[in-house]
Structure 1
Amino acid sequence: MKVERLGLQEINGPLVALDGVSGVSNEEVVELSLADGSVRTGRVIALDGARAVVQVFEGTAGLSLNGVRTRFLGHPLQLPLSPELLGRVFNGAGRPVDGLGGLYAEKYGDINGSPMNPVAREYPRNYIATGVSSIDCLVTLIRGQKLPIFSGSGMSHNQLAVQIVRQAQTAAQAGEKFGVVFAAMGVKNDVADYFRRSFDEAGVMGHVCMFLNLSNDPIIERILTPKCALTAAEYLAFEHDMHVLVIMTDVTAYCEALREFSSSKGEIPGRKGYPGYLYSDLASLYERAGLLKGKKGSVTQIPILTMPNDDITHPVPDLTGYITEGQIVLDRNLDHLGIYPPVSVLPSLSRLMKDGIGAGYTRDDHSAASAQLFASYAKVQDARALASVIGEEELAPSDRLHLRFGGLFERYFLNQGFTENRTIGETLDLAWALLSTLPREELDRVEPEVLAAHYDPEKAKRFQ
């Protein structure tokens, strides 16, 4: 039911309050008509008896208590949905900004989504190839997984996001359709241009749907951006049988917008001023990834978030780690050494990779190679710590061998060109060549038959 009111009772930041309102619901869309004929959009965020509090997307500058006509539209905010979403660019609220006109909607979807019934979920299996060795081998991305990237300010996470969009593909199976939904929140104009230009130059824009919220856009729009992106992804995945990869950057900017919005409502703050419901709010986004029984498509998420002061215990990465199935951590020391992508191996993990790799998915030796790389690189860090105390000359021969392996591993395996797209076969062959630089007795995480098939000191001569 549509309800109209004339005049406002209160204006507070991006919020307006109306009294004597009945027959409206939470999250309902509102249109505010100003005396000059312009129209602004909002949504109901709180109801207290006959008082409704409305969040105005475009801000309240220029509004007055008198002369504003408020119209409640009787439905939540909806996104026009169509297969034509791919190849288009929208703002954070889902309005086209690419100059190609409006979208001919096949249907409209509530941006808040519908919770997936846990009983209807399928366990994620099979993988998405990113072409990045450190991810594909060590922190494998599984279809239907939510795997965040923890980065720091000024690091190469935007570049890595572009590379993943350019190279990502599902494991080769006939008849599968793959698409990417890219959501940028609070980015500067030059960063937004970098994303658009990179996708155009790579020729991948045809299977990418972009939602761009700029740093000078209203924070209210920033809160809507990931919801619009995930609504588009769910539509493409579950109604058009596509495997959709959703990349969201920067989730920290989204959380800061949520903190500012919560403060304007006068809510009691939690840790570092973030609202007490930050965990459940993030969960409402992350849990929209997955697979459904009877549906061929899937929604996979890579949220990218910057850790303030590189603090992994900050509320945003801390809560994200509780909700998601692992994380990819970028290391500033590796970044300073010029290694790209600077993936920090030991704190990174993918909790679902064990069920989406191996024979029938990647290669039967994948699990063994990954486990041995982790174990050997852990010994590298121990040897480096010891060398910093007693000096490299005093180390045992095995420790010096591990130091050499660590340098080769970072130089040839972790370090990878921005345009270099490695297949999973090339990545695993490189892994075994590097492991073959170590004595056979040092490889204690591999079954003897697997070691016999892949250990070859001749392959290690390429690193001499």
Structure 2
Amino acid sequence: MTASPPDGGVTRGGGTTGPVPVEFTGVRELRGPLVVVEGVSGVGWDEFATIVLDSGERRHGLVLEVDGDLAVVQVLEDTAGMNRAGTRVAFSGSPLRIPVGTGWLGRVCNGRGEAADGGPPVLGAASAAVGGAPINPVRREPPDEPVLTGVGALDVLTTLVRGQKLPVFSAAGLPHLELAVQIAAQATCGGEPFAVVFAGMGLTHADVAFVRDGLAARSAARELALFVNTADDPVIERMLTPRLALTVAEHLAFTEGRHVLVVMTDMTAYAEALREVSAARGEIPARRAYPGYLYSDLASLYERCGRIRGRPGSVTVLPVLTMPAGDITHPVPDLTGYITEGQIVLSADVQASGVGPPLDPLASLSRLMRKGTGPGRTRADHPALAAQLIAALARSRQVADLADLVGRSALSPADLAHLELADAFRRRFLAQGTDENRPLEDSLDRAWEVLLTLPRSQLGMIPADLLDAHAPAADEGAR
């Protein structure tokens, strides 16, 4: 296992000697993925443990709770095949640690950090605790530079900014995994050192094959670390996967100086794993049987992104989650929305029209977009162009509703122009293949093409000098 074993107190890859592990044999109960050990002393929360079966097989776990002389250990490989009498538990005296460094780049690992590509275990010159910690707010640097995804609608209308946490809200049947892979494969930071850490949770084997194929080029360029937890892997592993990914990303960013994009999908699978473990522990459930600490647990992941003053790198987080029955008030998207800085929403209605990626521009928002766009960052016309396009699309939706009531024949010429704009937006701007990497310049030019289907009088949010450059007065009479 890539995670540091407690045997002899040696941190694998770190070369340092830690506390001597203490072994206990008093297993009181096996409950789902949990082992309850009695008669313990000197054991702390979040400690790493090795469980030795009577057959000699070794498994690994983390201490979830300590109460007097009882310790509750969650077993990463599950408790199947274990029995109370022949099981011994050795506590390491320290939290779970993993090697960190560039050795993860180009590698494919399972959700516990074990090599899944046939290569050797990942080693590193240093190690770091998997638990991590949020960045100190005093040392945070405000995000102000873009991460370009190559997906035109995202780059123009909901620009991702370095150090931002921007979730993708989806539903069953929508191509959120395809979008996540496309972003992970195409994202760049303007030629600066860049890497992607992709954490897949609860994926089918077909999904894993799709992810590996889609990201093969980035992996071959040693710009990708891939962690995949499948649906038939132990549920506890699903809770560890995003923490491993973020620990690797933090070192690449704040020690190696890279800008790192962390894509985590699906966070709903992660939350369901958290709910299952909470039920096994006998905790009092909160809304929809999720634990009451779901908000703080999600925040402990999302808040590990950002930029640190005085250091060159950044960690940007793009969590992907499915909304059960498309319900945006479900606890997972609801709480995620409170923590993050906006959202990208996929729409079943847009998907039904045959256009992809099926983004809903009016439901999507990047609250840090204006910090990362404009002169010196993207293009001088970008902020005004995006604002005007959103306003025009909002008017188009109102006109479409009105047309359903009174018919197109009762609409004004300006209203009809807005209906034409909605069609042009889907055909010329939104539609993009999953293997098409669209440059920002092209995306912004396409946005101008769409907007100029309207009369100039309807473009009041764009400064006159920009309109003169893109819609000369000589052409006005033809509109």
Q: TM-score range by the shorter chain?
A: over 0.9
Corresponding residue number in structure 2 for 1:385? 401
Partners of 1:8 and 1:99 lie apart in 2 by 35
**Map 1:313-352 → 2, pairs under 5 A:** 313-352=329-368
Corresponding residue number in structure 2 for 1:445? 461
The answer as to 2:120 corresponding to 1:101 is yes
**Structure 1 residue 386 displacement after superposition:** 0.7
Q: One-letter code of the match for 1:74?
A: G
**Structure 1 residue 115 displacement after superposition:** 2.6
**Structure 1 residue 204 displacement after superposition:** 5.3
Match of 1:228 among 225, 244, 263: 244
- The structure-2 alpha-carbon separation of the partners of 1:432 and 1:456, relative to structure 1 and needing over 3 Å to count, comes to farther
Partners of 1:370 and 1:353 lie apart in 2 by 10
- The structure-2 alpha-carbon separation of the partners of 1:147 and 1:35, relative to structure 1 and needing over 3 Å to count, comes to same
Corresponding residue number in structure 2 for 1:144? 163
**Structure 1 residue 96 displacement after superposition:** 1.2
With the length of structure 2 as denominator, give the TM-score of the two structures. 0.93
The alignment yields a C-alpha RMSD, in angstroms, of 1.6
The answer as to 2:137 corresponding to 1:121 is no
Match of 2:174 among 155, 159, 168: 155
Match of 1:423 among 436, 439, 443: 439
Partners of 2:107 and 2:188 lie apart in 1 by 20
Match of 2:210 among 194, 218, 224: 194
Q: One-letter code of the match for 1:200?
A: A
Corresponding residue number in structure 2 for 1:49? 68
With the length of structure 1 as denominator, give the TM-score of the two structures. 0.96
Corresponding residue number in structure 2 for 1:356? 372
Q: One-letter code of the match for 2:70?
A: R
Partners of 1:242 and 1:378 lie apart in 2 by 38
**Structure 1 residue 458 displacement after superposition:** 9.6
**Structure 1 residue 459 displacement after superposition:** 9.7
**Structure 1 residue 457 displacement after superposition:** 9.0
Partners of 1:348 and 1:456 lie apart in 2 by 32
Match of 2:259 among 243, 251, 273: 243
**Structure 1 residue 411 displacement after superposition:** 1.1
Moved more, 65-74 or 368-377: 65-74
**Structure 1 residue 72 displacement after superposition:** 0.5
**Map 1:198-217 → 2, pairs under 5 A:** 198-200=214-216, 206-217=222-233
Match of 2:83 among 56, 64, 67: 64
Say which SS state the counterpart of residue 186 (structure 1) adopts.
Answer: strand
Moved more, 219-228 or 423-432: 423-432
- Give the conservation status (yes or no) of the 8 Å contact 1:291–1:297: yes
Partners of 1:296 and 1:352 lie apart in 2 by 19
Moved more, 227-236 or 112-121: 112-121
Partners of 1:432 and 1:148 lie apart in 2 by 27
Structure 1: gaps of 5 or more residues: none
Corresponding residue number in structure 2 for 1:10? 29
- Give the conservation status (yes or no) of the 8 Å contact 2:26–2:38: no
Q: One-letter code of the match for 2:95?
A: P
Corresponding residue number in structure 2 for 1:394? 410
Match of 1:280 among 293, 296, 307: 296
Say which SS state the counterpart of residue 136 (structure 1) adopts.
Answer: helix
Say which SS state the counterpart of residue 229 (structure 2) adopts.
Answer: strand
**Map 1:20-31 → 2, pairs under 5 A:** 20-31=39-50
Partners of 1:235 and 1:342 lie apart in 2 by 34
**Structure 1 residue 455 displacement after superposition:** 2.3
**Structure 1 residue 131 displacement after superposition:** 1.0
Corresponding residue number in structure 1 for 2:429? 413
CA offsets per residue over residues 52-107 of structure 1, 9 Å max, x none? 11111111122112121111011111121121110001111111111111122211
Corresponding residue number in structure 1 for 2:104? 85
Q: May I ask how many residue pairs the two structures share in their alignment?
A: 458
- Give the conservation status (yes or no) of the 8 Å contact 1:432–1:455: no
**Structure 1 residue 201 displacement after superposition:** 5.3
**Structure 1 residue 388 displacement after superposition:** 1.3
Corresponding residue number in structure 1 for 2:273? 257
CA offsets per residue over residues 262-318 of structure 1, 9 Å max, x none? 111111111111111000000000001100011100000110001111111111111
CA offsets per residue over residues 334-372 of structure 1, 9 Å max, x none? 111111111100110100010111000001000110010
Say which SS state the counterpart of residue 246 (structure 1) adopts.
Answer: strand
- Give the conservation status (yes or no) of the 8 Å contact 2:200–2:229: yes
- Give the conservation status (yes or no) of the 8 Å contact 2:139–2:309: yes
Say which SS state the counterpart of residue 160 (structure 2) adopts.
Answer: coil
Partners of 2:334 and 2:473 lie apart in 1 by 42
**Structure 1 residue 255 displacement after superposition:** 0.4
Percentage of matched positions with identical amino acids: 49
CA offsets per residue over residues 239-280 of structure 1, 9 Å max, x none? 100000000000000001111111111111111111110000
Corresponding residue number in structure 2 for 1:36? 55
- The structure-2 alpha-carbon separation of the partners of 1:13 and 1:209, relative to structure 1 and needing over 3 Å to count, comes to same
- Give the conservation status (yes or no) of the 8 Å contact 1:436–1:457: no
The answer as to 2:185 corresponding to 1:166 is yes
Q: Point out 4+ residue stretches in structure 1 off by more than 3 angstroms.
A: 201-205, 456-460
**Structure 1 residue 451 displacement after superposition:** 1.6
Moved more, 57-66 or 47-56: 57-66
- The structure-2 alpha-carbon separation of the partners of 1:104 and 1:369, relative to structure 1 and needing over 3 Å to count, comes to same
Say which SS state the counterpart of residue 445 (structure 1) adopts.
Answer: coil
Partners of 1:77 and 1:3 lie apart in 2 by 15
Q: One-letter code of the match for 1:197?
A: D
**Structure 1 residue 203 displacement after superposition:** 6.6
CA offsets per residue over residues 149-184 of structure 1, 9 Å max, x none? 111111111111111122110024xxx210000000
- The structure-2 alpha-carbon separation of the partners of 1:239 and 1:446, relative to structure 1 and needing over 3 Å to count, comes to same
**Structure 1 residue 114 displacement after superposition:** 2.5
Structure 2: gaps of 5 or more residues: 1-18
Match of 1:303 among 297, 313, 319: 319
Partners of 1:118 and 1:128 lie apart in 2 by 22
